[in-house]
Structure 1
């Protein structure tokens, strides 16, 4: 197959969507397919997937993310040059809309992805009351495509309630060789002021309003009540980083990390605090489990699928803050439970990327064989 992926975010961007799309694209190429990406950012080097870079602008209030711009004419030129057999639209911006229109004119089947709950971010960025409008726009975009893929059953059911047709679940995988407890670093822990007997709570992800970081701060206060010597580490970057650093200088801020460096940060923690309520999946939860961490999270998306509370992590009912804080206190008391951390690691072993890439390949092939490239 000749596969075109259209996305506003792609490496070297550091986020779960970018990493997922790169993994899927490279996996398809290893299976013999030809993949090209239309995106908003230049490659960091000459390796990797072939890409076309379109003009873009930063997302207001979030300079680390961009919206791409492409006209119908530009996308038709891309199609006529690359001649894709199937299109995957990963983000629902102007570039994605133009690519869907172009695919319609060339008779090319389209699969779309719902990777991010942007509609829930509006209130966090001072745009309250617009979520129903956003849902309608997203419904209109996705119902122009033959299939919509999203990473969890929770999100799939939400999309079906909105009236989006032919929704499927394409899960996520994890590199268990990279995210490995063996990467634990004594030197890194010492830089955080922690020795082997000091519990370290850690958060990895965007430092942004939609991640519910105020609860992360309160959660560590609860953790600290049980373990007064504990340390808190934030790994990531985002628009809330400077404010968080100013408000809480007692925490350690590692900034953005990638590859083996990121894996060492995970493995050098003990308990992963994940208070977000806006995930479509939550790749970081899977990475934390693979790194042998006990995860405290809300019971939806990836945590619902992966965590058996009290066995390999801890979950609280969605948006129930008192229950979440209770589970944090339980986790603090059991921060070095070797059986639980071993169980967390074991959970990841059945969740490699190979099965996800194979399913994605099958989804694209099925749409290509459909008599109609677009939904009615």
Structure 2
């Protein structure tokens, strides 16, 4: 099986997100799966090129430019469009069997766009809800307009993808409460290799 992953960021940036991503790729490759990797324009130093880190090649999505890319709301849409283009370019050469989008929701939106043009299924891995992360970071408040819009986008993406993985049962329960079928959701928690 050939899997095209869409990440927010990756190594060499060192975060829990990038280490979980690396572990997923290592396990998939150990099982004989073939993977390719795209990062969003939010990756530090995103320039549209290719970067190899720890034996993995990452296709970087260039940051969108122009007025729309600098406007609130439109900037996020420009990132989705740029990521979808990059995913499409890589998919056309790599020929994946499936797209695996990792949160945030912008990556799922880009994956759905690219997949729909190519007849590919999408799995969306939710590590946290973007609206809750924004509220905890202080960039919005729970229940405000930005929070509600982001929650809407997360729910819409969850409805449009073929399968969902989450890192905990709390996220699974939240999705079910939003009307997402339980059969569509698999819990794959963080783990420690001992």
> Which TM-score band (shorter chain)?
0.7 to 0.9
Aligned equivalent of 2:18: 18
SS at match of 2:191: coil
Q: Tell me the TM-score normalised to structure 1 length.
A: 0.41
Query: Is the 8 Å Cα contact of residues 41 and 53 (structure 1) preserved in structure 2?
Result: no
Distance (Å, rounded) in 1 between the aligned partners of 2:118 and 2:22: 26
**C-alpha distance in 1 between matches for 2:180 and 2:35:** 27
Gaps of 5+ in 1: 58-66, 177-376
Deviation track 1:38-69 (CA, whole Å, cap 9, x = no partner) reads: 01357885532222111248xxxxxxxxx955
Structure 1 residues 172 and 81: alpha-carbon distance in aligned structure 2, compared to 1, 3 A threshold: same
Deviations 1:185-209 (A, max 9, x none): xxxxxxxxxxxxxxxxxxxxxxxxx
Structure 1 position 105, deviation (Å): 1.5
Residue in 1 that maps onto 2:124 = 112
Mapped to 2, the partners of 1:126 and 1:94 lie a distance apart of 17
The alpha-carbon deviation at position 4 of structure 1 amounts to: 0.6
- The 2-side partners of 1:77 and 1:100 are apart by 14
> In the aligned structure 1, how far is the partner of 2:101 from the partner of 2:107?
9
Match of 2:14, SS state, is: coil
Whether 2:61 is the aligned partner of 1:54: answer yes
Residues 1:169 and 2:181 are matched in the alignment: no
Calculate the aligned-residue CA RMSD, in Å. Answer: 2.4
- The structural deviation recorded for 1:132 is 2.8
What does residue 109 of structure 2 align with? 97
Q: 1:169 to 1:106 in 2, by over 3 A?
A: same
Work out whether residues 105 and 154 of structure 2, in 8 Å CA contact, stay in contact via their aligned partners in 1: no
Cα deviation, 1:310-334, whole Å, max 9, x if unaligned, reads xxxxxxxxxxxxxxxxxxxxxxxxx
TM-score of the superposed pair, with normalisation by structure 2: 0.75
Matches within 5 A, 1:20-35: 20-35=20-35
Q: How many residues are paired up?
A: 167
| 2:86 paired residue number | 74
Contact 1:37 1:50 in 2 (8 A): yes
Instruction: Find the aligned partners of 1:12 and 1:44 in 2 and give their Cα distance.
Output: 9
- How far off its partner does 1:26 sit? 1.4
Unaligned runs of 5+ in 2: 65-77
Q: Distance in 2 between matches of 1:50 and 1:29?
A: 13
- The answer for the alignment partner of 1:127 in structure 2 is 140
1:148 corresponds to: 164
| DSSP 3-state at the match of 1:6 | strand
Output the CA distance in 1 between the equivalents of 2:5 and 2:171: 21
Q: Note closer, same or farther for the CA distance 1:132–1:25 as it changes in structure 2 (3 Å cut).
A: same
Name the SS for the 1:4 alignment partner: strand
